[in-house]
Amino acid sequence: MSVERVGVVVHQGRPEAVAAAQVVRDWCADEAVPCTDIDVWHDHSRRRGGREEADVAGNPDLIVTLGGDGTFLRGARIAAKNRAAVLGIDLGRVGFLTEVPADEVVRALDAVHQGRAEIEERMTLTMRASRVLEVPKDIDALMAYGRRPMLPPPHIDLEAEAGAEGWGVALDVTALNDVVVEKLARDRQVSLGVYIGGRRLASYSADAVIVATPTGSTAYSFAAGGPVVSPRMDAVVFTPVAAHMTFNRTVVAAPDEPVAMRVLPHSGQGAVTIDGQLRGVLDAGDWIGVYRAPRRLRVVRLGRHDFYGRLRARLRLTDAPATAVDEDSAPLFRPDGPVPHDLAHLHLSLADRDAGAAD
């Protein structure tokens, strides 16, 4: 892709991110590409929804994020609204989403501009609700959500609303990681009836329930005991958090099976967060349905994404002591020549693929 306009999302609290952002602006000036800082806020200032943010920035076709996974998610919610690609510069500590080191910013931008970068598409989630979500004015007194300006409640997705009477309200949201319903008061769990594919699965009393994408499986869902799911898959991952019931396991549903949650009459209020951002509150009788969004996030990669290598490094995975005598474990496939026909359709590791292609 030839870059026409760049949007920059910066973690302003990290000096190295601020310095790398200036490198991006300098590159844009050299290439005569318009560049705009987006999703910038100050204390007590109003934040904008993703669609409004993209419009104000002139609808950039490339969004560059400089920070960790949280900064990447800020850029992703904007990029998904207008099919922009998002390039994550890695300045975080434990992240899975960003990829490019800060000292390779120029090389990465050149690769994108010259069409040498790969564009990987990730599944996202969207939702319908029984009513338009709202955030109570006294939310800061109920929960500690006052650290930064909050995003506004989601707007109605007017395009999706057409001809959908009786199906709830379509909300203009995009989640790359997860949609979470969690208890609002510390002394009252949220009680939910959970439906998958339109059929009731069970009723839960829990601290929270998480509906995640494969990308989000290594975030909150993983911390709550959920499985690691390859981000190359399409699936809907449902994980309860501290559920007061015997069945507290994750359910991995097919991508076309929506997960719906109805707040039961005896429940406390539930807070709805989307990729970690509070976006509304549910009362008894309210419901939301979470499902695969038609839109996918376009992520810039400089090469094939080594997800399992990153998983091993980020989580500091170690081998069992009993394997120490084996020294370095050999890869499963060690190609000495062209990749065999029965393996040609597989997504092999970087080293295996390159070795096979070189012969």
User: Catalytic residue among 39, 61, 69, 286, which?
Assistant: 69
CB 78 within 8 A of CB 39: yes
Comparing CA positions, the residue from 278, 269, 289, 273 lying closest to residue 183 is: 269
The Cα–Cα gap between 142 and 283 comes to 14
Torsion of CA 64, 65, 66, 67, to 10 degrees: -170
Is 69 noted as a catalytic residue in this protein?
A: yes
Alpha helices in the chain (DSSP H): 15-31, 50-56, 69-79, 105-113, 139-142, 158-161, 220-223, 307-314, 350-358
List the structure tokens of 296. 């996918």
State the chain's maximal CA–CA distance in angstroms.
Answer: 66
Strand partners, 259: 196, 290
How close are the terminal C-alpha atoms of the chain, in Å? 30
The Cα–Cα gap between 288 and 15 comes to 40
The Cα–Cα gap between 20 and 319 comes to 36
Enumerate the active-site residues: 69
